C-alpha cells in the first residue's frame, strides 16, 4: 500500500465470517470491478488453521491482481504465511513489535478509533497508515465516532495516510473524499446481495 494519490483509494475489508467455497469468487468480482489497493482479512475466528486456509485461498485471488493482502492483528501468522502485512486494532501498542517482526517492507496499519493522539503515537511507532472510524454515530460500543473535522485536521497536518472506515455511505464518502487517503469498505457491500453493484454505487461518490 503506497502513499495515496490525490483521489482516495479503495481498501477492502472481508466479512468476519466467510465461506471459502463461495467468497473467493465474490472477492474476485469485486476486485475486478474497481481498482483496490489492499484487502484486509478480518475474520473473527482465532482458529489458526481456518485463518491460514482463508489467507492462502484469498491470496491466490489477490496475488493474481497484484493487490496486497494483510491480516487483522495476527502478526506471527502474517509472518508465517508470508502475507503483505498486518492491521492492528490496538492503536499504537503493537506497532513496534509488528514492525520488528515483519520488517521494513511489510505493511503495518493501526486502527485508532476516534483518537488523533493514538493515531500520532502509532505513526511515530512506525505505522504505514492509520485507520479511523466509525465515521458516523451508531448505538454500538460507546457511540463515539471519528468526526469530519478530525480527517480535515489529519490531512492538513500529518503526512501518514489515513483510512476512513465504518458506517460509510454515499454522503459520507462524498464528504470525506477530499480529506482521506483510503476508504475501508466491508460490511457496506458484503451485506448486500450484489456487492459489486453496492461498491459501484458507493465509489461513484468519490468523483
Q: Where are the domains of the chain?
A: 9-206
Alpha-carbon gap, residue 23 to 19, rounded angstroms: 6
Question: How many percent of the chain have pLDDT more than 70?
Answer: 97
In the predicted model, is pLDDT for residue 4 greater than 50?
Answer: no
Residue 75: its pLDDT value, please? 98
Q: Given a cut of 50, is residue 58 above it in pLDDT?
A: yes
pLDDT reported for residue 207: 80
Above 80 in pLDDT, residue 150? yes
DSSP 66: T
Confidence (pLDDT) at 99: 97
List 132's β-bridge partners, or say none: 164
Q: What is the pLDDT of residue 138?
A: 79
Structure confidence at residue 5 as a pLDDT band (50, 70, 90): very low
Could you tell me which residue, 97 or 138, shows the higher pLDDT?
97
pTM for the complete prediction? 0.95
Strands (E) in 60-193, as ranges, are 68-72, 85-88, 107-111, 129-132, 162-165, 182-185
Superfamily of domain 9-206: Aldolase class I (3.20.20.70)
Of the chain, the end-to-end C-alpha distance in Å amounts to 21
**Cis before 120 (ω within 30):** no
- Determine contact, residues 35/51, Cβ cutoff 8 Å: no
Q: Judge contact between 98 and 116, C-beta under 8 A.
A: no
Per-residue pLDDT at 1 exceeds 70: no
What would the pLDDT profile of 37-54 be if each residue is shown by its tens digit?
999 999 999 999 999 999
pLDDT digits (tens, 9 = 90+) for 158-187: 999 999 999 999 999 999 999 999 999 999
Vertex 8: Cα angle to 132 and 4 (nearest 5)? 90
Amino acid at each position: 500500500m503506497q502513499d495515496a494519490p490525490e483521489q482516495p483509494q479503495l481498501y477492502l475489508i472481508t466479512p468476519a465470517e466467510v465461506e471459502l467455497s463461495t467468497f473467493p469468487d465474490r472477492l474476485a468480482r469485486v476486485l475486478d470491478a474497481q481498482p483496490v489497493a489492499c484487502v484486509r482479512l478480518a475474520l473473527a475466528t482465532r482458529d489458526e488453521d481456518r485463518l491460514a486456509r482463508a489467507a492462502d485461498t484469498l491470496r491466490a485471488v489477490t496475488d493474481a491482481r497484484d493487490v496486497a493482502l494483510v491480516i487483522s492483528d495476527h502478526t506471527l501468522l502474517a509472518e508465517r504465511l508470508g502475507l503483505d502485512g498486518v492491521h492492528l486494532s490496538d492503536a499504537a501498542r503493537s506497532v513496534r513489535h509488528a514492525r520488528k517482526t515483519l520488517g521494513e517492507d511489510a505493511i503495518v496499519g493501526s486502527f485508532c478509533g476516534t483518537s488523533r493522539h493514538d493515531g500520532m503515537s502509532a505513526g511515530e511507532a512506525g505505522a504505514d497508515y492509520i485507520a479511523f472510524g466509525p465515521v458516523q454515530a451508531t448505538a454500538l460500543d460507546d457511540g463515539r465516532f471519528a468526526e469530519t473535522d478530525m480527517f480535515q485536521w489529519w490531512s492538513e497536518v500529518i503526512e501518514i495516510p489515513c483510512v476512513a472506515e465504518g458506517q460509510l455511505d454515499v454522503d459520507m464518502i462524498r464528504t470525506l473524499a477530499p480529506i482521506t487517503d483510503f476508504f475501508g469498505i466491508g460490511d457496506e457491500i458484503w451485506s448486500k446481495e450484489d456487492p459489486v453493484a453496492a461498491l459501484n454505487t458507493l465509489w461513484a461518490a468519490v468523483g
